[in-house]
Amino acid sequence: MRQNKLFYILESFRVNQWIKNLVVYTAIIFSGKLLDPQLFVITTYAFLTFVLLSSVSYVLNDIIDYNYDRKHPVKKFRPIASGKIPLQEATFLVFVLMILALIISLFFSLRFFMLAVVFILLHLLYSLILKKYAVIDILSISFSFMIRAFAGEIVTGFHIPIWLILTIFFGSLFIASVKRHAEFVVHGSETRSSLNFYKEHMLNFLTITFATTTIISYSLFAYLERPPLISTPFNEYFSRVLPNFEGRRWLMITIPFVVYGIARYAQLLYTKDEGERPEKLITKDLPLIATIFLWGIMIITLIYIL
């Protein structure tokens, strides 16, 4: 029985969505400090803190949406909506975990603590109010990604370039608009109140707009930003063979991976209506997984090897 209860608690934590918190690593990856043991450890602690904070927000959302989720064809099977975790227990769990997460965040810095408070308040407002309004709901989702990115900045002290910040902003808006489009097409407006204020052509417009701005932002980042200088045998060799090797804008060769990744994501939306669960697409669609993997390999190679 206890094992079942633990399983239901982990399910309510949305373990498959913890991948979103990897955004915390943005600052050290692109500043060339991923291999710095001290910075890696503190960023990992920040990542785990946001895992806890996001889990709190998911359980809180399920408590607030209890009556609504029971009518949803998929969400009615969630532990809280199905009654596997009683509301009283879920409420106590949220209270304990929220206090724990905020206490842990204080050990980083006051700024990190304030960011954690803003993160919780944003998700609380989202669950109570913001998700009921079209466009504002997807902007709220995007801001939660931005908070994660800024958390990485705060704990490491390394700045994320503005065009990369905008890539995260528009990229998360693209994913959120795809999710809303899939919900609208599959379930109509019955399962989410904000969908009453969306139209399919509007969601198409938002998807296209945010896909375009994501590609433009990332392209500008790749063109304007040069990889940090890290001395390796490879870059010393290439500097001798290719004049001005370090001055060339090598990050631009990663742009096609971003373009294809967005195109593949859109393809899954429009051909299979699979955009309702983005975390499922990112972890189960082989072409998308391969694209993300190759993009990551190229980024690591350009920053840490060449």
- Neighbour tally for 248: CB within 10 Å: 12
Quote the mean pLDDT of the chain.
84
Average pLDDT over residues 243-250: 62
- Neighbour tally for 201: CB within 10 Å: 8
The 10s digit of each residue's pLDDT in 87-137 is 888 888 888 989 999 999 999 999 999 999 999 999 989 988 888 888 898
Q: What are the distances in angstroms from CA 99 to CA 12, 55, 96, 115?
A: 18, 13, 5, 15
Rounded distance between C-alpha atoms, residue 224 and residue 164, angstroms: 11
Rounded distance between C-alpha atoms, residue 157 and residue 171, angstroms: 24
Distance of CA 112 to the CA centre of its chain: 18
Selection from 129, 128, 160, 132 nearest residue 145 by Cα: 160
The pTM assigned to this predicted structure is 0.86
Q: What are the distances in angstroms from CA 54 to CA 21, 47, 58?
A: 8, 10, 6
Of the chain, the percentage scoring pLDDT greater than 70 comes to: 85
Q: What are the distances in angstroms from CA 222 to CA 24, 38, 160, 294, 298?
A: 20, 27, 13, 16, 12
**Residue 286 — pLDDT band, cuts 50, 70, 90?**
confident
pLDDT of residue 238: 57
CB 7 within 8 A of CB 85: no
pLDDT over 90 at 250, yes or no: no
Q: Between 276 and 69, where is the model more confident?
A: 69
The 10s digit of each residue's pLDDT in 42-88 is 999 999 999 999 998 888 888 887 777 777 777 777 888 777 888 88
Rounded distance between C-alpha atoms, residue 216 and residue 259, angstroms: 10
Of the chain, the percentage scoring pLDDT greater than 90 comes to: 41
pLDDT of residue 234: 60
pLDDT of residue 237: 57
**Residue 243 — pLDDT band, cuts 50, 70, 90?**
low
The values of phi and psi at residue 263, to 5°, are -65, -40
Average pLDDT over residues 268-287: 68
pLDDT over 90 at 257, yes or no: yes
| CATH entry, 9-160, from 3.20.20.370, 2.40.50.100, 1.10.357.140, 3.30.70.560 | 1.10.357.140
Cβ-based burial of 286 (10 A; exposed 0-12, middle 13-18, buried ≥19): exposed
**Residue 16 — pLDDT band, cuts 50, 70, 90?**
confident
- Domain ranges for the chain, please list them: 9-160, 161-306
Three-state SS for the chain is CHHHHHHHHHHHCCHHHHHHHHHHHHHHHHCCCCCCHHHHHHHHHHHHHHHHHHHHHHHHHHHHCHHHHCCCCCHHHCCCCCCCCCHHHHHHHHHHHHHHHHHHHHCCCHHHHHHHHHHHHHHHHHHHCHHHCCCHHHHHHHHHHHHHHHHHHHHHCCCCCHHHHHHHHHHHHHHHHHHHHHHHHHHCCCCCHHHHHCCHHHHHHHHHHHHHHHHHHHHHHHHHCCCCCCCCHHHHHHHHHCCCCCCCCHHHHHHHHHHHHHHHHHHHHHHHCCCCCHHHHHHHCHHHHHHHHHHHHHHHHHHHHC
Angle subtended at Cα 3 by Cα 2 and Cα 9, rounded to the nearest 5 degrees = 90
Q: Please report where in the chains the tokens 């079209």 appear, as a residue.
A: 134
The 10s digit of each residue's pLDDT in 178-188 is 888 877 776 66
pLDDT over 90 at 3, yes or no: no
pLDDT of residue 239: 61
